[in-house]
């Protein structure tokens, strides 16, 4: 196949949302989504270079690769955790701040509150974490989240709004 770069661009454009939804619905930790997503499309690119013909079903092809990437990623994480214990992630945002663009006290208070709420959400079950991520970070509708997580819409709403009410009750003063 000669035009695999153009083919890759077309496949990426047509499958990126489906693959992102699949990875989000099947990950074990929300902070892993972007890494797995990137690894998936690197593997798609490599696979296209080795093929003689384009895949018949592009979405199925990409989701199969995403499924393999999820397995490889979590297999590696489990092996590393077993060998070295828990792995602490460091975000670049922790080190980059523009000194002229914020009030230090407000920034510290907001970061602390955000950290507390993140910790609170981290203590919820994985489905609740996914619901929050998909709704607030990825902008999915309740109906899409329900379909992806194989739940009723009322159950998704219950988890979302119930957890929001608890957050408001606990962190109202702050």
Of 43, 20, 17, residue with least CA distance to 32: 20
pLDDT tier, 77 (very low <50, low <70, confident <90, very high otherwise): low
Asked whether the beta carbons of 145 and 135 are under 8 A apart, the reply is yes
| DSSP-derived secondary structure letter, 150 | T
Do 130 and 59 share a structural domain?
no
pLDDT tier, 27 (very low <50, low <70, confident <90, very high otherwise): confident
Number of domains in the chain: 2
Do 108 and 46 share a structural domain?
no
Q: Which domain covers residue 155, as residue numbers?
A: 104-171
**pLDDT higher than 60, residue 25:** yes
Which of 68-72, 103-107, 151-155 shows the lowest per-residue confidence on average (mean pLDDT)? 103-107
159-174 pLDDT, tens digit each: 988 988 888 888 776 5
pLDDT tier, 42 (very low <50, low <70, confident <90, very high otherwise): very high
């Amino acid at each position: 196949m000669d035009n695999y770069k153009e083919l890759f661009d077309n496949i990426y454009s047509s499958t990126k949302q489906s693959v992102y939804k699949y990875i989000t619905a099947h990950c074990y930790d929300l902070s892993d989504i972007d890494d797995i997503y990137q690894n998936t499309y690197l593997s798609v690119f490599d696979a296209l270079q080795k093929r003689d013909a384009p895949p018949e079903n592009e979405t199925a092809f990409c989701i199969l690769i995403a499924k393999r990437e999820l397995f490889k990623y979590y297999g590696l994480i489990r092996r590393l955790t077993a060998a070295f214990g828990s792995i602490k992630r460091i975000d670049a945002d922790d080190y980059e701040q523009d000194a002229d663009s914020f009030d230090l006290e407000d920034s510290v208070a907001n970061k602390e509150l955000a950290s507390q709420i993140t910790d609170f959400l981290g203590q919820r079950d994985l489905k609740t974490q996914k619901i929050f991520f998909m709704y607030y970070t990825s902008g999915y509708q309740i109906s899409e989240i329900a379909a992806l997580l194989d739940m009723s819409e009322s159950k998704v709403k219950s988890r979302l709004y119930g957890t929001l009410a608890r957050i408001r009750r606990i962190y109202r003063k702050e």
